Amino acid sequence: MDVTIKRIVQLLEESNMTLTELAKRMRIPEVTIANWKKGSMPRHQTLVRISELFDVDIAWLQGLTDEREIPKRNSESEQILDKIFDLMRSYKITSNKLAKELKISYDVINYWNKYCKVPDYSNLVKIADFFNVNIEWLLGRSDIEKKIIRIHDMIASNEEISLIKQFRKLNHTGQEKLQDMIEFLLSKYKRGG
């Protein structure tokens, strides 16, 4: 039996709750829960709801840690999450949009927010890349917010530098639209093509 299922069974036993009671509280068919014991895995959203119901850390429920208690908030976690959610607000990116871009569940982002749980490193890298920020800044290790790209062996004309400066003045949506327009223009007027 999978560790997640073992821990769900453990929680049921400790709380003297039956499968029927759990199904009613979760508003899911009893047969779904019965299938878990046969090897089917609960969806992530269901695991989040179970962890909330029994007040345990979802990472413990999934067997990723032996720490059962939900992690306490700390200022470092709050600072990292504040930066992420500030970026989302400033670029007008919803949790759904960010989840889609990172290829993760919307519930994961809500979990980060609700429990002040910092995303794992791979998701932090994806977030930094998505918002084009320095991961060291995101982690609070640097004051330099934007990624610095060093371009070797490349000389830009004044017109090119002006375009870059104007691009930087646009909000996220404007930058995306400009990139789409450039792709269109390249398809029509590319040099040598």
Q: The tokens of 7 are what?
A: 């821990």
**Strand partners for 133:** 146
Tens-binned pLDDT, residue by residue, of the chain (193 aa): 688 889 998 999 999 998 889 889 888 898 988 888 788 888 888 888 898 889 888 888 888 778 888 766 667 888 888 899 899 988 888 888 999 988 988 878 877 877 677 888 888 999 998 888 888 888 888 887 776 555 544 566 778 778 888 888 889 899 899 999 998 898 888 877 6
Angle at 42 between CA 39 and CA 44, to 5 degrees: 140
CA distances from 18 to 21, 23, 37, 110, 112 (A): 5, 9, 13, 28, 30
Q: What 3 state SS string does 139-191 have?
A: CCCCCCCECCCCCCCCCCCHHHHHHHHHHHHCCHHHHHHHHHHHHHHHHHHCC
Taking only Cα atoms into account, the Rg of the chain, rounded to an integer number of angstroms, comes to 23
- pLDDT for residue 181: 92
- pLDDT for residue 120: 85
Per-residue pLDDT reduced to its tens digit, 140-152: 888 877 765 555 4
Local structure of 133: helix, strand or coil: strand
Write the burial class of residue 33 (CB in 10 Å: 0-12 exposed, 13-18 middle, 19+ buried).
Answer: buried
Length of the chain: 193
The Cα 193–Cα 180 span in angstroms is 19
Per-residue pLDDT reduced to its tens digit, 25-41: 888 898 988 888 788 88
Structural contact between residues 47 and 4, judged by C-beta atoms closer than 8 angstroms? yes
The Cα 69–Cα 96 span in angstroms is 27
Q: The tokens of 77 are what?
A: 């976690």
Residue ranges of domains in the chain, CATH in brackets: 3-61 (1.10.260.40), 75-138 (1.10.260.40), 158-189 (no CATH)
The Cα 60–Cα 180 span in angstroms is 44
- pLDDT for residue 74: 65
- pLDDT for residue 13: 93
